[in-house]
Amino acid sequence: MTNRDYDGQGPLIEGDHNLRSISETIGDIPFLKIKDTPKQWFIGALMAFGVLQLLFLCAGYLLFKGIGIWGLNVPVAWGFAIINFVWWIGIGHAGTLISAILFLFQQDWRTSISRFAEAMTLFAVACAGMFPLLHLGRPWLFYWLFPYPNSMGMWPQFRSPLLWDVFAVSTYATVSVLFWFTGLVPDVATMRDRAKNPIVKSVYGLLALGWRGSARHWHRYEICYLILAGLSTPLVLSVHSIVSLDFAVSVIPGWHTTVFPPYFVAGAIFAGFAMVLTIMIPVCRLYKVTDFLTDRHLNNMSKVMLLSGLIVAYGYALEVFFGWYSGNPYEQGMILNRFGGPYNKAYWALILCNIIVPQFLWSYKVRTNPVQVWIIAQFISVGMWLERFVIVVMSLHRDFTPASWDAYAGTKWDWGLYIGTMGLFMTLVFLFIRIFPMIAMFEVKEVHHKSQHGDHH
Amino acid sequence: MKTPKTSYADGPDSMNLVTMRKRLDALDLHRDHDLVASVEVPTEVEDFEVDRRDFFKIASGAAALAGLTACTKQPIEKIIPYVDAPEDLLPGRPLFYASSFTKDGYGYPVLVESHMGRPTNIEGNPDHPFGNGGTDIYTTASILDMYNPDRSQSVLRNGRSGATVSQFQATLAALRPAWDANKGEGVAVLIEQQSSPTLEKVIKAFSAKYPKASFYNHNPAQSTNAAEGLKKAFGKAVTPRYNLAKAKRILDVDANLLGHGAAMNQHLADWSSQRNLVEQAVVSDDHGAHGGGAHGDAGHAGDAGHESKGTHSAKASAGEADKQRGSWGDDGTHSSSHGAPMLAKADMNRLYCIETNYSITGAAAEHRLTATPSRIAELFKEIARGLGVAVAGQPLFQHVVAGGHAEVDLPSDSEYAEKFVTGVIADLKAHAGECVIALGERHSAELHAMAGAINKALGNVGQTVDYVPSSLIEFPNSGGDLTDLTKAIEGNKVESLFILDSNPVYSAPADLNFKSVLTGIVEPSEDDETKDDDKKPRGDDKKPEGEAKAEKASEPVDRKLALVMHAGLFADETAACANWHLPLAHFLEAWGDVRSPDGTYSSVQPLIQPLYSSALSLVELFGILADETGTSAADLVKETAASAGAEGDDAWQTLLHDGFIAGSAAKAASVRTPHENLFFVKSEDADEKDAPAVSGDTELEVLFEIDPAAWDGRFTNNAWLQEMSNPITTLTWDNAIAMSPQTAKDLGFADAKKGYPNRTAVEPKTSTIVLTVGDRTVEGALLIQPGHANGAITVTLGHGRETAGPLGSNTGYNAYTIRTSDNLWITKGTAVKGKGMHKLAMCQDHFQMQGRTRNHIRTVTLDAIKEDSHAVQHLGHKFPKEFTLYPPPEEMLTDSVQWGMTIDLTRCVGCSACQLACNSENNTSVVGRNEVLRGREMHWMRIDRFYENGGDPFRENVRVRTQPVACVHCENAPCETVCPVGATVHSNDGMNQMVYNRCVGTRYCSNNCPYKVRRFNYLQYYDYNGRSAQENMMQNPNVTTRVRGVMEKCTYCVQRVNAARIEAKKEQVREGLEELPLKDGAVITACQSACPTNAISFGNISDPESEVSKVRRLHDLTYGLLSEVNTRPRTLHLARILNWNPDVEAAPAAGHKSGPDIDEHGGDVKQGDEKKSHSDEEKSEVHGEKA
């Protein structure tokens, strides 16, 4: 029985699926025997784990020696660490957006991707969260940023955006974990029921919190999920807004601008969707669950990317416009430095990656071609990193007095730590694939049900 | 004055954890444990049975033994209380002693801060007649030389330590019968120029004993040209002494009056005293305020002082001033009550400078002309002709006479030269009797004679220029200079050579081959020393010995030279070639005396016992040489002082207290007018010698300069000086070969494609140059120096040393290797591109202001500000107005002390003395070349330098603007709001404070600081564990040293503020006062104290009578750097006012009254940026209407 296109926007599930086959296709992945596990998983997981070691090495040496091993200097006192922090935090946003906002808007197409995206959120936040700690001059005193009662009688300084960051990111991480875990409960229960190994069964059983699938459970689950979705929704907007305030609150030309909060949020969604696509397209191919990642998903996600990309482009345009319109020579100098300064290649590459390349997404054919979408997603990921480079480094390296201007470049330790966090991210992704159903089975079943019976019950 | 060493070394200071750990490490407990484990346990383990009782025995034994680690045997140290405590010595309170630092034989008056018997900081002696209480960089940094762990610590015999002074005396004793017999023939002493009267006395005593012992002089940093020339002109040996305090016009021809030479600090002080617009303006200000302002006019304010200042109370005038303070920032809202221009009748001196390489003087000059050395000679002759000194030769600028320059194809720079010379001639003529013509010592004696003649002809002598007899010692039986010594050695006339405080092996002219002259004769085989050596042969020493012998074998002559003794602060290159090396005492460790450059008798007193027991002063050393060690150095000095005028104990105590004998300065000699025909006699051939020999197009004039940091090489191992941002170039840890952008382009250096490159790489690389002079070459890094003369190259002496110590060795190149004794200062050479690239660690990478000069370093002409008192404020007009709801700081918290600073750019020359003083006072870390390359220098006080080239990067005549920038202690500090842990906060008294302990190192404050004056400890720069004891002793105990990961910055010397506050509070309680009796001047910051031109004022800005408040009220002059960011800086800068001569350089762009403003985007002076100027004018007009 083919799945109907019940809402006239293209099918959400392809192939001939029933409830059982859905459970089998998705839910059996964690139960795959070693010989059945795709070789690519081993290769990928091993590589990711190898790269993870780079993180340990770079972070270890950093703690031993001090952040002088990085390429920082006095005008450019923030570099890779902050770029990467913002980049990773941004990537996380897609997950929350997909699971919370699209849930509230009852966008059914989110079902196939929400679990994965949420997991990515967590992993990205884990990667992001490391940087603010490591970038401290004295990281062992990081807890001084928390308002805890202490013998010094000291409180953190509440006017600092870095402190807002602490609250924003920690709240975001907490809510994201809760939200992800809550959404996982029904599926974990399914896994518990399907698991054969008693130990595995009991672990899943523990995580399933005694889920029996009763109507009352479902009722409470739905209310709880709705509340969490409601809680998460403002967080999508707040976290990156607050991260952007790290810059916007300062006086540095290129940072001191009111457009940052919306522009950062759009950028985060932009980057987040690109990352979801970057990971999901190959993984779905690998595990042959492409039935649940249909043209419609690609199409919709591409559209979101295109839209958020346009907002970002508008942000860039505004920066340039206000640079000129302000009449402020420092702002003008900053814009001219972006256009023609020593790092102008980064700026023009950013324009290419974030504005020009995504315009291909206007074409339906491109939007539904996984390979092309994946390539565009790569451009966007790079472009969003460059955007943070442009904002952080290019604003700092030439600010007010030319006497203090200097150049900046990441050292091998900067790159090592950055690549290392990718190792951490990928390691977590590969573990996630092996442990939890990467697609929300019960939600897909619901969609399947709708597609069989229409959306009118 | 001498303090027992026990007072600090055994005090609580030395009982810190670091030393404890060091001691534990030294005991090497770990190794012992390993030994126990590896040897004993395996044998015991075989039948290891224990019962319960044994177990407890062992356990308790183990516990007891574990406790033993806590009872590690500590070195026995005695804490002995003073039996008779030195007067005024209170723990925690520093004492200050007057003394003198000696360089090149001259003494520089200092006050040395001593904490419990250890000197920590050197500042100028404000009471001393020489200088102005300021210091120079060498004086400040000299304290580091004393504590330098690389200092020579023991007597070396053939390069090996373990010898003693008495062994050296024994060696001398063996030679003495021969000396006695032939009256010291064959004894040679090589010594620098000296002025110490006591030293003169002991030298005379030595010479009396051995009259045939000859003295040779070696002064690599000195030139004898001036002395020779003046002798020719005036018939007697005199040196010029310029009184710039009286000079209205100064022509500095390559003399670098403000940046070089013994009398530099006096020049700076005097020059700046004639640029003190603050004093001149304050009078008008008070007056204008009194006049009610509304009807004030220029003429009215002009006759300041018709009403005595006393008639209006301090409060009233302050109140008026506060009303006017609308312009404390640069919003340009000047109150109409302002009245007449403050500077309506202001007057100041005018400095002209002609030079080859950019110097501090050139940067400070109103008008500067760039010329090669030979061209300078021509220009100087032209000026001499113009000023009525008959000089042979044709006028340079015939076209001027001809009434146009159509027939001569002149580049624009030449056109400028022409105007410059004619303008200078006219100006000097108009100021005859109140001008100074100073010529650089490197120029020929003939020109110096001419300079003397000009000064005489203009009637300057006796007014602004004195010719005084030299205060240097005339050595008895002088053999001449190093060249003569070399000849003497080669002629077998020297048997024993004593090299005192000199390093000729490094600094000798290359053609003398001084090293091989010396090393040909090491290890005299018949001496018993060699036998000693043979008894204890060492593997390491075999080879050099063999080499030395091989060299000796290659020497054709069998030299008589049997003994070479070297004495110095460091075991340097010369020490390595000597049989004996004796460590010299630092001036802080020895008794002595010296004459300051003006001839004033000044005392040198020890503040600490010599750190190394064998260290001797030169006076003591001569006692040993003459075998007369009976009288102590202190007694000798006392005797000398008595004969110099300080007779009796009281006078002696006064001398030690004051540091000098008043009125002992050298008296001016009367000089005749030089013969009219002196310069006619000079034939054209002689002129030819000065003119450049026109040959191949690559032949360049090569100029030798003393390195601003390393001097002649004696400070190469001084980390503070090495890391000092070099005046003009901002280069650190290196020297470079400087040439103009045009010359570099002509020579094909890619670096010069765009003129002066903005350094955009992280560690920018420059080409290297192979410079060939005669048959000698040297390779160094290229430095493109805007404002350098085309067709000339400047190399600096003092770098490229081989054995200067871990810091100073192998920095830069050694220019002595191409310096020959016949051309010590100016020569010719060719330059080609070298092979590799070199990284130059410069503190600044961008030397152009990107169109921001107008606002940042505001410069206006004196005429402009007289015409329009708002000229300075107009320069900030392109920025948005500052707005704040809060009153200005001086009004905000008048009930408490409010600290503030002003920096007067009219008087600042960018000499870096403030930077060094800050380093010394605040224990700032030296980070090393690599970290400077990465842009992590830790200077709290930086000195920005910008070139203005009028849009043409290849222009020869460019301007330099300098500006010291430290934390400005913003009222509305961007750093404070962004620190998440509150580590940088505002104090009640208005200081932006940095709490090191609270800092976690987010560096957000640094990012958000528009001035970028915050410095971050990216690595553990302050090495707690690896620091030597000496370095620890040097630290200012009142300033916390900073760990890695912590931000730091200028604190306004908060430790000094607090010290003064504590004193004031004590007085307050004692006297029962209501207000804190903190007087103006009670706190002097380190930079302020060091500043030789008094450009920095610091004090309580809520006190309307304080110096700093008076300066702040000069709204016509003050501006807050970057106050358009609404930071409301506490440190205000005073605009740079130039006494511009419109005949020399065109007045700034038409309609733009604000002054010279040539910046990168602004185009040439003439073209200006018309649009900008117009809009400025419009604005000022609008503003005028409002007013």
Q: How far is CA A29 from CA A114, A195, A294, B588, in A?
A: 17, 11, 19, 81
Q: Cα–Cα distance between B991 and B1051 in angstroms, integer?
A: 7
Reported as a pLDDT band with limits 50, 70 and 90, residue A140 is: very high
Give B800-849 pLDDT, tens digit per residue. 998 888 888 888 899 999 999 888 899 999 888 888 889 999 998 888 77
Give B939 to chain A, closest Cα distance, Å.
11
Reported as a pLDDT band with limits 50, 70 and 90, residue B70 is: low
Residues with Cβ < 8 Å from A28, sequence gap 6 or more? A194
Residues of B with CB below 8 A from A333's CB?
850-852
Does B977 reach chain A within 8 Å, measured CB to CB?
Answer: yes
Does B1014 reach chain A within 8 Å, measured CB to CB?
Answer: yes
Distance of CA B888 to the CA centre of its chain: 36
The rounded mean pLDDT for chain B is 79
Of B851, B937, B974, the CB nearest to A250: B974
Q: Cα–Cα distance between B94 and B644 in angstroms, integer?
A: 30
Record: contact A407-B762, CB cut-off 8 A: yes
Record: contact A136-B998, CB cut-off 8 A: no
For B976, the closest chain A residue by CA position comes to A160
Record: contact A333-B935, CB cut-off 8 A: no
Residue B305, Ramachandran bin (φ over 0: left; ψ between -120 and 50: alpha; else beta)? left
pLDDT of B541 over the 70 cut? no
Record: contact B1002-A67, CB cut-off 8 A: no
Of B846, B935, B1047, the CB nearest to A402: B846
Residues of B with CB below 8 A from A64's CB?
none
Give A92-134 pLDDT, tens digit per residue. 888 888 888 888 888 777 887 888 888 888 999 999 999 999 9
Give B501 to chain A, closest Cα distance, Å.
39
pLDDT of B526 over the 50 cut? no
Residues of B with CB below 8 A from A249's CB?
977-978
CA torsion, ordered B832, B837, B841, B845, to nearest 10 deg: 80
pLDDT at A57: 96
Note whether B1101 and B890 are within 8 A (CB). Answer: yes
For B938, the closest chain A residue by CA position comes to A74
Residues with Cβ < 8 Å from B249, sequence gap 6 or more? B349, B350, B352, B427, B428, B431, B434, B435, B436
Q: Cα–Cα distance between A338 and A390 in angstroms, integer?
A: 8
For B1125, the closest chain A residue by CA position comes to A251
Interface size, chain A vs chain B, as Cβ–Cβ contacts under 8 Å = 182
pLDDT at B894: 64
What distance, in Å, lies between the first and last C-alpha atoms of chain A? 20
ipTM over 0.90: yes
Containing H/E element for B463? none
Greatest alpha-carbon pair distance for chain B in Å reads 120
Return the beta strands (E) in B850-905 as ranges: 859-861, 899-904
Give A91 to chain B, closest Cα distance, Å.
23
Record: contact B1001-A163, CB cut-off 8 A: no
pLDDT at B835: 87
Reported as a pLDDT band with limits 50, 70 and 90, residue B97 is: very high
Does B844 reach chain A within 8 Å, measured CB to CB?
Answer: yes
- Please give the structure tokens belonging to residue B614: 């064998």
Residue that wins the pLDDT comparison between A181 and B71: A181
Interface test with A, best of B728, B948, B1002, B1023 (most A CBs within 10 A): B1002
Residues paired with residue B1137 on neighbouring β-strands, in sequence order: B860
pLDDT of B29 over the 60 cut? no
Reported as a pLDDT band with limits 50, 70 and 90, residue A10 is: low
Residues of A with CB below 8 A from B1019's CB?
65-66, 68
pLDDT at B679: 62
Of A75, A161, A409, the CB nearest to B762: A409
pLDDT at B805: 83
CA torsion, ordered A121, A126, A132, A138, to nearest 10 deg: 170
Which residue bears the tokens 């001090």? A66
Residues of A with CB below 8 A from B878's CB?
327, 329
pLDDT of A81 over the 80 cut? yes
Give B586-643 pLDDT, tens digit per residue. 999 999 999 998 889 999 999 988 888 889 999 999 999 988 888 888 899 999 999 9
Which residue bears the tokens 């500077």? B343
Q: Cα–Cα distance between B224 and A194 in angstroms, integer?
A: 101
Give A344 to chain B, closest Cα distance, Å.
12
Q: Which of B129, B107, B144 is closest to B604 using CA atoms?
A: B107
Give A387 to chain B, closest Cα distance, Å.
18
Of A71, A136, A408, the CB nearest to B1000: A136
Give B1169 to chain A, closest Cα distance, Å.
15
The angle that helices A111-134 and A412-435 make with each other, rounded to 10 degrees, is 150
Give B601 to chain A, closest Cα distance, Å.
43
Q: What single DSSP character describes residue B602? A: E
Q: Cα–Cα distance between B1052 and B1131 in angstroms, integer?
A: 10
Q: Cα–Cα distance between B284 and B298 in angstroms, integer?
A: 10
State what percent of residues in chain B have pLDDT above 90: 36
Determine whether A34 is exposed, middle or buried from the number of CB atoms within 10 Å of its CB (0-12, 13-18, 19+): exposed
Of B974, B982, B1003, the CB nearest to A157: B982
Interface test with A, best of B1003, B1016, B1133 (most A CBs within 10 A): B1003
Residues of B with CB below 8 A from A73's CB?
934-936, 1018
Give B203-220 pLDDT, tens digit per residue. 999 999 999 999 999 999
Does B997 reach chain A within 8 Å, measured CB to CB?
Answer: no
Q: How far is CA A386 from CA A87, A89, A331, A343, A349, in A?
A: 9, 15, 20, 11, 8
pLDDT at B559: 67
pLDDT of B495 over the 70 cut? yes
Q: How far is CA B120 from CA B112, B113, B143, B590, B922, in A?
A: 7, 6, 7, 16, 10
| Mean pLDDT calculated for residue range B775-781 | 91
The whole-model pTM stands at 0.84
For A71, the closest chain B residue by CA position comes to B934
- Please give the structure tokens belonging to residue B804: 């200067």
- Please give the structure tokens belonging to residue B253: 């021809």
Give B996 to chain A, closest Cα distance, Å.
11
Distance of CA A129 to the CA centre of its chain: 12
Residues of B with CB below 8 A from A406's CB?
845, 935
Q: Cα–Cα distance between A83 and B1132 in angstroms, integer?
A: 36
pLDDT of B144 over the 70 cut? yes
pLDDT at B937: 92
Q: Cα–Cα distance between B86 and A378 in angstroms, integer?
A: 77
For A341, the closest chain B residue by CA position comes to B760
pLDDT of B644 over the 90 cut? no
Give B169-179 pLDDT, tens digit per residue. 999 999 899 88
Q: Which of B1160, B1165, B752 is closest to B951 using CA atoms?
A: B1160
| Mean pLDDT calculated for residue range A239-256 | 91
Residues paired with residue B309 on neighbouring β-strands, in sequence order: none
How many CB atoms sit inside 10 A of residue B41's CB?
10
Q: Which of B184, B190, B182 is closest to B215 using CA atoms?
A: B190
Record: contact B1043-A251, CB cut-off 8 A: no
Give B375-420 pLDDT, tens digit per residue. 898 889 888 888 887 776 666 665 443 333 333 333 467 788 888 9
For A158, the closest chain B residue by CA position comes to B980
DSSP per-residue letters across B603-640: EE--SS--SSTT-B-HHHHHHHHTT---S-HHHHHHHH
Pairing of strands B792-797, B699-706: parallel
B935 three-class SS: coil
Q: Cα–Cα distance between B1012 and B944 in angstroms, integer?
A: 12
Q: Cα–Cα distance between A198 and A220 in angstroms, integer?
A: 28
Which residue bears the tokens 């993180």? A55
Pairing of strands B367-370, B563-568: unpaired
* H helix intervals, B923-1048: 929-933, 974-978, 1004-1007, 1029-1034
pLDDT at A117: 84
Of B850, B978, B1045, the CB nearest to A402: B850
Give B942-982 pLDDT, tens digit per residue. 999 888 877 778 888 888 889 999 999 998 899 999 999 99
Residue type for position B416: Y
Interface test with A, best of B858, B937, B1000 (most A CBs within 10 A): B1000
Give B838 to chain A, closest Cα distance, Å.
17
pLDDT at A3: 53
Q: How far is CA B593 from CA B203, B469, B1137, in A?
A: 14, 19, 40
Of B759, B974, B1003, the CB nearest to A251: B974
The rounded mean pLDDT for chain A is 88
Question: Which residues 747-786 on chain B approach chain A with CB closer than 8 angstroms?
Answer: 759-762, 764
Reported as a pLDDT band with limits 50, 70 and 90, residue A6 is: low
pLDDT at B1156: 41
Interface test with B, best of A157, A336, A412 (most B CBs within 10 A): A157
Q: In what order do the strands lie in the sheet with B249-253?
A: B367-370, B350-355, B249-253, B435-439
Residues paired with residue B861 on neighbouring β-strands, in sequence order: B1138
Give A397 to chain B, closest Cα distance, Å.
10
Of B844, B934, B1012, the CB nearest to A399: B1012
Which residue bears the tokens 């699938």? A213
pLDDT of A263 over the 80 cut? yes
Does B965 reach chain A within 8 Å, measured CB to CB?
Answer: yes
State what percent of residues in chain B have pLDDT above 70: 78
Residues of B with CB below 8 A from A156's CB?
980-982
